[in-house]
Chains A and B, each alone.
Chain A
Amino acid sequence: MKASESILVVDDDLDFLKIISRILGRKGYEVETVPSAGKAISRLKERFYNAAILDISLPDAKGTELLPRIIEMHPDIIAIMLTGHSSVQNAVESLNRGAFAYLEKPLDPENLLSVISRGLEKQRLVMENRGLVEELERHNRITNTLLNVSQAVSQSLDLQEIIDAALDKVTQSTGLEANFLYLNENEQLLLKGHHGFSRRIVQAMPKELNKDSGVIGRIFGEAKPEIIEELAKYAGTDLSFLSKGGYLSFAGTPLTILGESIGVLGVATSFAHYFSVNNIELLTGIGREIAIAVRNAQLYEEASSARALRELDSMRTEFLANVSHELRTPLAVIKGSANSLLQPDVIFDEKTQRDFLSSIDKDADTLTRLVDDLLMMSRLEAKALEVRKKSHKLAEVIDSIKDRLDTLTAKHHLHIDIPETAPPVTIDEGRIGEVLTNLVENAVKFSEDNTTISIEAQPNGKEVILCVADEGVGIPAELHHQIFERFFQGDGRKTGRRKGTGLGLAICRGIVEAHGGKIWVESGLLKGTRFSFSLPVD
């Protein structure tokens, strides 16, 4: 039932007071009457009245002096002055001092009621407006806070950075030091961030929660915030760390995107009965901002790994297409040559027959090397390369591959410089031999006949540096990193050579790194090339 509006009537004419009381009472107003200014003041100190009707001459004061005091105490009160003789001056003064209206005695009851009604309606509008303005200001404050939070958490796409920034902002915006955040991962709620708790309490916090456990589970499941006004009365174990830490009340809000929960934000304070509908609204808004930022970071991560997977996939497809081509080419020579010899319609002379057989032989070798490279590459990929290390002198390593090197460099000048004083190294002789051979093969491929290819060794403290240098076409600076990547194909090789698989240098790097060394290149266009790699000394 709507409360009646209350009216205080101040007049020393007691009969008048009785009549007025009846008239106003019949209209449903709550009426109180006092005969003096002093009594009026003391009533007004105790409670609010919607309206006050004052006689201009009171035993202990002038009505016009009482008026401003009343308005000071209750700024919204509707004050109506009653004047005895028609005195314009009094009327004007009353209005100036804040009266809503003045009326002349003797009163016309209808007039009085109508004035009171208008006055109270105005009062209602003012109070409603004031409420609206306050509400608007409150919303503004919340919106500003949320904007702040949103800006703070969207500075980054890194999930942990976002969470930490968010919890920091929660503290700044709400003044609540202690807060924490759980995120849904693989059907469990995992603790992803906390702020303002001592280390002891952090240790006691459950790192994983079931989606249906306790109040946190409920907040998540129903996507609705919850308040626990007295933690001492709460039985669930998921928040026991709070009570242990001396916190008395808790509020939690779901992190939601389009109504769906992705996690829970919890705050705690050492005051009991701290949380109310008002500050929950702010918290829930913050929860939504955090949810958006977190979702963005998660999507970004998914997209990056999806993109990375797609890149890897297309690299793999490209590589397989390459491999297919490389395998089919020697196969075509082998098949074609054998098939030619078998055709009944043409008999070839002996020399031609030998040529065909020799092609078969050579390309079978090519295929074999290819298969070996592919196997090596798959071992490198799986990081399953076997490396059997023993102590060796570098001169021995060179000796073991000398024949092959001589064959390779038949049309070049091979210069080997390994000082006697070079310390022995702990290596897999076969693998390092492969590296050297590969580097020399490249040198032969990319330099003209009759130029020099040199192999040198230089001790350098705890390691030895081996170099293979040529006087060939060189490698431009921008490619110095790429050449060691798998599948990378250089150009500028001499005509007539088939493309390799682009694995040679990648394999060299894999072997060198498996020995704990590094490999690098120094080169410039037309300035020759120098590959160096380091090996650890015994």
Chain B
Amino acid sequence: MDKKHILIVDDDPAILRLLSTNLKARGYEVIAATDGEESLEAVQGNFVDLIILDLMMPKVDGVEVVRRVREWSDVPIIILSARGDENDKVKCLELGADDYLTKPFGIAELMARIKTAFRHRGDPTVSPAQSNFVCDGMEINYAKRRVSVDGKEVTLTPTEYALLQHLAVNSDKVLTHSMLLQSVWGNEYSSEKEYLRVFVGRLRRKLEPDPKNPKYIQTIPGVGYHLAAVA
């Protein structure tokens, strides 16, 4: 299997060295950038499988990078931040980042989150029994990992798709918050309620004709979410 390419972006050379050494030792190819502008150039120039991105940088800051990358790419993005601000976290996730880590962090934790992000991208070992899922205008083609609403294709990031697929495969059940978090993200995420709320919001904005009154993804208050099989 080809080595995965990871772009790391941080204005502190010591952090770049730290990340680079650890990633290379674990079999990843590393591209480094020290500011937002350089990072955008790198994403356009190279084939990048994942971005690890620091928030506070000169010229173009991390938030702006996420916004711009998401305009045309669904590459997984993990945010590294020394600010530790809850609002920042939610804002980045809503803008399209896949995960958020606060400095200082442990190496094992970072590696696990990288694995999760790649898993959402498309793990061929997980294939549903049916080939597709249809519900009142929305169609999911599992094999091709393509989603369309009323014939129009909708672009989803890997994490968004993973969440939607999970809801669709289990459409005859109500899935609780922690079940969803554990299945889609992993055990260590079981209490990250913010993630679920933000990603369901992102899906609704992309799929629902009226995101405020969703017909596909239903909220079961206090319990979890449910994807309607028949509208």
Tell me the A residues contacting B by CB distance below 8 Å: 321, 324-325, 328-329, 331-337, 339-340, 343, 345-346, 348, 352, 355-356, 359, 362-363, 491, 495-496, 498
Task: Report 28 cross-chain contacts, Cβ distance below 8 Å, ordered by A residue.
Answer: A324-B82, A325-B56, A328-B83, A328-B102, A329-B103, A332-B82, A332-B103, A333-B15, A335-B104, A335-B105, A336-B104, A336-B105, A336-B106, A336-B107, A339-B107, A340-B22, A343-B22, A343-B108, A352-B21, A355-B17, A356-B21, A359-B14, A359-B17, A359-B18, A495-B34, A496-B11, A496-B13, A498-B11
Interface: B26 (CB within 8 A): yes
Beta-carbon nearest neighbor of A358 in chain B: B14
**Beta-carbon contact of B18 and A321 below 8 Å:** no
The interface centre, meaning the residue of B17, B85, B105 with most chain A CB atoms within 10 A of its CB, is B17
Q: Which residues of A contact B209 (CB under 8 A)?
A: none
- Closest CB in chain A relative to B34 CB, distance in Å: 7
Beta-carbon nearest neighbor of A346 in chain B: B25
**Beta-carbon contact of A334 and B85 below 8 Å:** no
- Closest CB in chain B relative to A499 CB, distance in Å: 8
Interface: B194 (CB within 8 A): no
**Beta-carbon contact of B84 and A332 below 8 Å:** no
**Beta-carbon contact of A331 and B104 below 8 Å:** yes
**Beta-carbon contact of A332 and B21 below 8 Å:** no
- Closest CB in chain B relative to A355 CB, distance in Å: 7
**Beta-carbon contact of B14 and A333 below 8 Å:** yes
- Closest CB in chain A relative to B230 CB, distance in Å: 48
Interface: B12 (CB within 8 A): yes
Tell me the B residues contacting A by CB distance below 8 Å: 11-15, 17-19, 21-22, 25-26, 34-35, 56, 58, 82-85, 102-108
**Beta-carbon contact of A329 and B26 below 8 Å:** no
- Closest CB in chain B relative to A505 CB, distance in Å: 20
* A389–B157 alpha-carbon span in the complex (Å): 65
Q: Which residues of B contact A495 (CB under 8 A)?
A: 34-35
* A343–B105 alpha-carbon span in the complex (Å): 13
Number of residue pairs across A and B with beta carbons under 8 Å? 76
Q: Which residues of A contact B13 (CB under 8 A)?
A: 496
A337-B18, A355-B21 are known; give 15 further A-B pairs, CB within 8 A: A324-B84, A325-B83, A328-B83, A328-B84, A329-B12, A329-B82, A329-B103, A333-B12, A333-B14, A333-B15, A343-B107, A343-B108, A355-B17, A356-B18, A359-B17
Beta-carbon nearest neighbor of B19 in chain A: A336
- Closest CB in chain A relative to B11 CB, distance in Å: 7
Beta-carbon nearest neighbor of A326 in chain B: B82
* A359–B18 alpha-carbon span in the complex (Å): 9
The list of the 3 closest CB pairs from A to B, nearest first, reads A332-B103, A335-B104, A328-B82
Beta-carbon nearest neighbor of B103 in chain A: A332
**Beta-carbon contact of A339 and B15 below 8 Å:** no
Q: Is the interface of A mostly helix, strand, loop or mixed?
A: helix
- Closest CB in chain A relative to B81 CB, distance in Å: 9
Known contacts A325-B82, A335-B104, A335-B106: does B22 contact A363 (CB below 8 Å)? no
- Closest CB in chain A relative to B23 CB, distance in Å: 10
* A340–B20 alpha-carbon span in the complex (Å): 11
* A498–B82 alpha-carbon span in the complex (Å): 13
**Beta-carbon contact of A498 and B12 below 8 Å:** yes
Known contacts A331-B104, A336-B105: does B85 contact A321 (CB below 8 Å)? yes
- Closest CB in chain A relative to B161 CB, distance in Å: 29
Known contacts A329-B12, A359-B14, A496-B34: does B26 contact A345 (CB below 8 Å)? yes
Q: Which residues of B contact A333 (CB under 8 A)?
A: 12, 14-15, 18
Q: Which residues of A contact B103 (CB under 8 A)?
A: 328-329, 331-332
The interface centre, meaning the residue of B19, B83, B102 with most chain A CB atoms within 10 A of its CB, is B83
Q: Which residues of B contact A340 (CB under 8 A)?
A: 18, 21-22, 107
Q: Which residues of B contact A362 (CB under 8 A)?
A: 14
Q: Which residues of B contact A332 (CB under 8 A)?
A: 15, 82, 103-105
- Closest CB in chain A relative to B82 CB, distance in Å: 4
- Closest CB in chain A relative to B200 CB, distance in Å: 30
* A336–B19 alpha-carbon span in the complex (Å): 8
Known contacts A331-B104, A348-B25, A495-B34: does B18 contact A336 (CB below 8 Å)? yes
* A325–B104 alpha-carbon span in the complex (Å): 10
- Closest CB in chain B relative to A57 CB, distance in Å: 105
Known contacts A324-B82, A325-B82, A335-B104: does B22 contact A346 (CB below 8 Å)? yes
Q: Which residues of A contact B15 (CB under 8 A)?
A: 329, 332-333, 336
- Closest CB in chain B relative to A498 CB, distance in Å: 6
**Beta-carbon contact of A348 and B21 below 8 Å:** yes
Q: Which residues of B contact A339 (CB under 8 A)?
A: 106-108
Q: Which residues of A contact B11 (CB under 8 A)?
A: 496, 498
* A333–B17 alpha-carbon span in the complex (Å): 9
- Closest CB in chain B relative to A341 CB, distance in Å: 9
Q: Which residues of A contact B85 (CB under 8 A)?
A: 321
* A336–B111 alpha-carbon span in the complex (Å): 12
Q: Of A324, A348, A356, A498, which contacts B83 at CB under 8 A?
A: A324
* A495–B37 alpha-carbon span in the complex (Å): 13
* A231–B9 alpha-carbon span in the complex (Å): 86
Q: Which residues of B contact A328 (CB under 8 A)?
A: 82-84, 102-104
Beta-carbon nearest neighbor of A491 in chain B: B58
Q: Of B12, B84, B104, which contacts A334 at CB under 8 A?
A: B104
Beta-carbon nearest neighbor of A328 in chain B: B82
Beta-carbon nearest neighbor of B21 in chain A: A352
* A329–B15 alpha-carbon span in the complex (Å): 8
**Beta-carbon contact of A321 and B14 below 8 Å:** no
- Closest CB in chain B relative to A116 CB, distance in Å: 87
The interface centre, meaning the residue of A332, A339, A346, A363 with most chain B CB atoms within 10 A of its CB, is A332
